[in-house]
Structure 1
Amino acid sequence: MANNMSPEEYKELGRRYYKLKQYEKAAETFTNGIEACPTASLYDHRAATYDKLENLNAAVKDGREMIRLDKKDVKGYLRTASVLEKMEKPETALGIYKYGMKNVPVGDKNFKLLQKLHDKLTRKLSPATAIDPFTVLPVELAEMILEYLPFRHMVNCMRVSRGWRDYLSKLPQLWMDLDLSGARKPVPRAFVNTAFKRSQYRMTRVTVHRFEHIQVISNLAKAAKALAELQIISLPHMMSASLIDIATNVVCLTKLVIHPKVTLDSVVQILRVAPVLKHVTFHTIRSQNSTVQWTRSLDQLESLDMFFVDKTPANILSLRALFLQTRSLQCLTLSNLNFSPIAMIWPGTVSELPPLTNLVLKSTSFKHSIQFPVFPPTLQRLVLDPDGPTDMPRNDSDWLQSALPELTHLSLSNSEWTAQRLGVLLDLYWDDDGNTQKLRDAKPLQHLSVRGIIPAPQGTCFFKGPASVFSYSPRFLTKALESLDLATLAVDDDEVEHLLTNELGLRSIDLSWTNITGASIKMLADQLPMLKSIKADHCVRINGRDAIHYAQRKGIHVSYQMGELKGGRKIRYG
Structure 2
Amino acid sequence: MPSIMKKGSMKAKAKLSMKEQGLSASERGRQFYAQKDYESALEAFSEAVECSTEHLLLNALDNRAATLEKLDRLRAALRDARRMIEIMPKFAKGYLRCGKILQLSKHNDLAIQIYERGLKKVKISEDKTADQHRVILQDQHNKLRRAMNPKKTLDPLAYLPLELAVMVCKHLSMRDRVICLAVSRSWRHLLEHTPDLWTTLDTSYVKKGMSMKSLKIHLRRSKYTVDFARITIKAGFDTARMHFLTRCCKELRELRIEGVGMIGESLSEPIEDAKKLQILYVSDKTEVSLGTVQSCTRKCQSIVDMTCLRVKGSGTVLRQGAWPKNEHVKRLELHADKEGRFERRSQLDIIPLMHACPNLTSAILPQWRVMATVFDLEPWKFLETLDLTNTQITQFPKLPATLKHLTLADNPLLTIRSQEELLALTALPLLETFNCHTTALDAASVMHITSESILQGHLKKLYIGGRMNADDQTPVELEFPSSGTVEELSLACLHLTDRRALQVVGLFPNLRKLDLSNTKITGVAVKEFVGKGITSLKLNECDDISTDAIEWARGKGISVEYKFPSQVAGAQGFAARAAASGS
Q: Aligning the two structures, in what range does the TM-score lie when normalised by the shorter sequence?
A: 0.5 to 0.7
Residue 453 of structure 1: how far off its partner (Å): 1.5
Q: Which residue of 1 aligns with 2:509?
A: 503
Count of paired positions: 501
Percent identity reads 21
The one-letter code of the counterpart of 1:224 is: C
Following superposition of structure 1 onto structure 2, how do residues 258-407 of structure 1 map, counting pairs within 5 Å? 258-259=282-283, 260-282=286-308, 283-287=310-314, 289-294=316-321, 296-309=324-337, 310=340, 311=342, 317-339=348-370, 342=372, 344-347=373-376, 350=378, 352-366=379-393, 369=394, 371-387=395-411, 389-393=412-416, 395=418, 397-400=420-423, 401-407=425-431
Residue deviations 1:347-384 (CA, integer Å, cap 9, x gap): 2x73x444311101122113xx4x32111111111111
| 1:364 partner SS | coil
Residue deviations 1:493-525 (CA, integer Å, cap 9, x gap): 65358626743163x555666666677676666
* 8 Å CA contact retained: 2:331, 2:362: yes
Q: Are residues 1:550 and 2:568 paired?
A: no
Give the structure-1-normalised TM-score: 0.68
CA distance in 2, matches of 1:79, 1:561: 75
The one-letter code of the counterpart of 1:442 is: Q
Residue 404 of structure 1: how far off its partner (Å): 0.9
The one-letter code of the counterpart of 1:331 is: S
Following superposition of structure 1 onto structure 2, how do residues 135-146 of structure 1 map, counting pairs within 5 Å? 135=158, 137-144=160-167, 146=169
CA distance in 2, matches of 1:67, 1:136: 27
| Pairwise CA RMSD | 5.0
- Using a 3 Å threshold, how does the CA distance of structure 1 residues 559 and 118 change in structure 2: closer, same or farther? farther
Q: Which residue of 2 aligns with 1:454?
A: 467
Instruction: Decide which of 431, 445, 459 is 2:459's aligned counterpart.
Output: 445
CA distance in 2, matches of 1:448, 1:148: 40
- Relative to its length, the structure with more helix (as a share) is 2
Residue 405 of structure 1: how far off its partner (Å): 0.9
Residue deviations 1:445-468 (CA, integer Å, cap 9, x gap): 123344x5234235589xx94344
CA distance in 1, matches of 2:447, 2:568: 45
| 2:365 partner SS | strand
Following superposition of structure 1 onto structure 2, how do residues 34-53 of structure 1 map, counting pairs within 5 Å? 40-41=65-66
Q: Which residue of 1 aligns with 2:272?
A: 248
Q: Which residue of 1 aligns with 2:256?
A: 231
Structure 2 gaps, min length 5? 13-28, 47-62, 86-92, 570-583
* 8 Å CA contact retained: 2:364, 2:388: yes
CA distance in 1, matches of 2:457, 2:193: 52
- Using a 3 Å threshold, how does the CA distance of structure 1 residues 549 and 195 change in structure 2: closer, same or farther? same
Q: Which residue of 1 aligns with 2:217?
A: 194
Structure 1 gaps, min length 5? 16-28, 48-57, 428-437, 569-574
The one-letter code of the counterpart of 1:445 is: L
Residue 328 of structure 1: how far off its partner (Å): 1.0
* 8 Å CA contact retained: 2:415, 2:442: no
Residue deviations 1:513-570 (CA, integer Å, cap 9, x gap): 66666776766666539x5x66566666352575355334xxx6x35565784799xx
CA distance in 1, matches of 2:67, 2:250: 53
Following superposition of structure 1 onto structure 2, how do residues 386-535 of structure 1 map, counting pairs within 5 Å? 386-387=410-411, 389-393=412-416, 395=418, 397-400=420-423, 401-427=425-451, 442-450=456-464, 452-457=465-470, 465-469=476-480, 472-474=481-483, 477-478=484-485, 481-485=486-490, 495=501, 499=505, 502-504=508-510, 506=512, 527-528=532-533, 531=535
Q: Are residues 1:107 and 2:107 paired?
A: no
| 1:178 partner SS | strand
| 2:320 partner SS | coil
* 8 Å CA contact retained: 1:77, 1:97: yes
| 2:318 partner SS | coil
- Relative to its length, the structure with more strand (as a share) is 1
The one-letter code of the counterpart of 1:551 is: K
- Using a 3 Å threshold, how does the CA distance of structure 1 residues 152 and 528 change in structure 2: closer, same or farther? farther
CA distance in 2, matches of 1:493, 1:79: 88
* 8 Å CA contact retained: 1:517, 1:543: no
| 1:454 partner SS | coil
Q: Which residue of 1 aligns with 2:187?
A: 164
Instruction: Decide which of 165, 174, 185 is 2:197's aligned counterpart.
Output: 174
| 2:386 partner SS | strand
CA distance in 1, matches of 2:517, 2:80: 75
The one-letter code of the counterpart of 1:202 is: T
| 1:215 partner SS | helix
